[in-house]
């Protein structure tokens, strides 16, 4: 009995880690990744070192996020605004510039995802504006139903991307 409980905890922990990794991966695999443009540009330009640099970039990003989480907890921050104020102290005006930049970055990233996904739909014969509407509805549903649905969707998309990538790798 004890062994099965311990095994269930380990399995649950591994699934949680995979879920977090899937969200991290999918947040960086946007419209350019889905259409194949990002891979073509990156891997053609950098060749065999490209996978190593991608892994190094994710390690650096994860280490940075860890430090931000520690800073958030050590300074008793309640939200991102508190964190950004702490991060940019003693220059309070920089926090405002960062907020503007952050909102622009989110709008541009979401726009790129919508445009990339609509272009993929268009390549299979769906009208571009209909595709934009469909993607908009899907994103709205993800936004309404929160982080758990986004995590599940990210995990499913990550698995699909990995399966497709491995299939292409093994067949070519």
Q: What is the pLDDT of residues 25-47, one digit of tens each?
A: 666 665 555 556 666 676 677 77
- Residues 114-124 have a mean pLDDT of 87
In this prediction, residue 113 carries a pLDDT of 79
> Are the C-beta atoms of 34 and 118 separated by less than 8 Å?
no
Domain count, the chain: 1
CA-CA distances (angstroms) from residue 59 to 21, 67, 112, 147, 168?
Answer: 11, 12, 24, 23, 26
Q: What is the pLDDT of residues 78-104, one digit of tens each?
A: 988 888 888 888 888 888 888 899 899
In this prediction, residue 74 carries a pLDDT of 94
Nearest to 84 by CA among 100, 96, 76, 101: 96
In this prediction, residue 37 carries a pLDDT of 64
- Residues 102-120 have a mean pLDDT of 86
- The sign of the CA dihedral 55, 59, 65, 69 is positive
Rg (CA), the chain: 20
Q: What is the pLDDT of residues 131-159, one digit of tens each?
A: 999 988 988 888 888 778 877 777 787 77
**pTM higher than 0.85 for the full model?**
no
The mean pLDDT value of the chain amounts to: 79
Q: At what angle do helices 50-74 and 80-88 cross, to 10 degrees?
A: 100
Q: What residues make up the domain containing 30?
A: 2-171
Which residues 6+ apart lie within 8 Å of 130 measured at CB? 121
């Amino acid at each position: 009995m004890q062994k099965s409980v311990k095994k269930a905890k380990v399995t649950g922990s591994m699934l949680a880690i995979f879920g977090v990794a899937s969200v991290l991966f999918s947040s960086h695999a946007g419209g350019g990744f889905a259409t194949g443009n990002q891979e073509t540009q990156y891997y053609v330009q950098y060749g065999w070192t490209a996978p190593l640099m991608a892994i190094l970039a994710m390690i650096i990003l994860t280490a940075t996020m860890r430090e931000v989480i520690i800073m958030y907890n050590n300074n008793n921050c309640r939200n991102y605004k508190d964190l950004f104020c702490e991060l940019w102290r003693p220059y309070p005006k920089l926090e405002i510039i960062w907020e503007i930049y952050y909102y622009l970055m989110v709008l541009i990233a979401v726009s790129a995802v919508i445009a990339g996904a609509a272009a993929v739909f268009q390549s299979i014969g769906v009208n571009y504006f209909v595709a934009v509407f469909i993607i908009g509805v899907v994103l709205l549903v993800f936004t309404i139903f929160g982080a758990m649905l986004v995590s599940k969707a990210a995990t499913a998309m990550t698995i699909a991307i990995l399966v497709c990538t491995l299939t292409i790798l093994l067949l070519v």
